[in-house]
Structure 1
């Protein structure tokens, strides 16, 4: 191989080297970057989003941004943004640096020698008003009170008026007037209907030219809940498990919380935190040791303040104990006989005898016995020689309210 290489004429070897050097030099020279904006004269406002744009050749995938508030004396890391080989643009949050002499530097993260700085300085100042909420990431629901938060940077503003645009700023509709500017927050219904491109405007009530605009946000349908259990008139035993269930439409977030009132809504306490899955959800609650026929359950969405539902009134009370004393077999009929103790109670009008069906732990009423009668029932459909059976005792009061076993 060495002899073969030496046999190549010198001018050919020189030409090959020259071509390689030229190709390498072209590749190195092709990698460049030019900052387009900010490039001098811009007026940035703190808390706003401003565009940084650049062009170039052979750039990497990520650019590093640095900010100088003093004309290049000090540089502060400002973040990283994606790029194409030929340039790109990105919206960046304006840093809280007051400056009349600001510069921006952009550098290829993969090749720090490829860099550019604003040709001239630009300014950074505080706006008279800055809106923090709602923002582009806020959950804003139709016909629902929404948290609105702002900061004042200009003195002399005491009252604010609010307007809403649902068409990306083409038109605005009044929302509220004479809001206390110093409070910094309030709750407003921003739109009664869903909309995709909304902007909130807050302005000085004395000088409408002094204003702030929020980021563009969406207004979406509010979740709608319907409690399906407990139901109206249901009677639940104290110190027992009760399944609270619901249906929901327009679900935004799965989380919610459940409250209980023993006094028809006069007082409430949180008893559980629930999770919806799809269009429904449920939690199991252990009932307290109290007696009330004015009980309510309320479900509240964790995101939408107006998305709530209250159950119908139900009762929690201690059930009289009605244990089965004995299940025996009638020797003459070969059928089960159920005998139980009769508790002393003014509540019980009739006993309900439950028998387990062919489905495990599912019972149905097979007979009714008056409280005044002998507490005994024969199960004429039983055949203990063929299979075992399970029974439970419930009861019904004089108002025909059923107390499950």
Structure 2
């Protein structure tokens, strides 16, 4: 992205450690330009008051920038990005500091805008800016916090390109006033682990994604909580061939639909909890859902399309179906539906297969299975000390 500031040569002090020192005195006509590989360190806070100027522009490969616990302050609504890396560069490492008040309304405004490849961002805080952090492909972002950022365009707290990792990060209260909003947004083939996203907000006609991971990406031990004020909300979402494991997605609200988990074709969702959403867990075709719980949804606990396998899951107290499909050739093994409006709901004559499932005290019926589907022997209220010779039997327990 273009940077409108006039670049001038900068002179800095080389410390005894060999690192080049950067202080406020070096920022009389920003941005400070890094054109030589090496290690740089802040010796004071940096304050930029000029409109449209970056604080630091990295134009070299193999640069390490230590903020040394200091804060880079921007000029607010007239700002671009605190730290900017040209897209053709790589191997930038930024660490240990804070970025505040880079809230310009353009798409370029953010705390760190590192469009190059193979970068590392760690131990950073970005707050009161338009966006938090962006790094290109094959990058690592860890132990970073994006808090209370707002954009008029597509918003995100943290964004990374293909093949990257995001670890132990927090995004809270990011919002867009006129576009989609993402807590964490990734390209394809990424891993996001041990991250927390909460209280994102958006705008009518647009969507919120707590974590939105591209195809063939993995979400592990992540939490998405209380995102609202948009037409649709997706707590945790993965594209085709992606997986979600040991995650929690709760209390999302939207004017149309709020999904706890969303998976594309060939997605895997395992050992995860969706609670208090419109739909708990929703996947497309050829997906696997295993060992999950969906509870207190305003509609279905589990929604799945075709050729999916669901095993050892628990649907509790959902306002419509515990397990619901209008698709075909799905397999449901050893799932429990308790206290939903309908326990198991196969709407169409579509060759779905159900075995070893239990429907218990669902309001209308434990099983609403259209003709043409395969339902193992249904044992209703078998009583104490029962035995079952049919290995594929399903159970229906009524008051």
TM-score norm. by structure 1 comes to: 0.22
Larger Rg: 1
**Structure showing greater relative contact order (alpha-carbon pairs closer than 8 Å, 6 or more residues apart):** 1
Q: Comparing both structures, which one devotes a greater share of its residues to strand? A: 1
Looking at secondary structure, tell me which structure has more helix per residue: 1
How does the TM-score come out when normalised to structure 2? 0.22
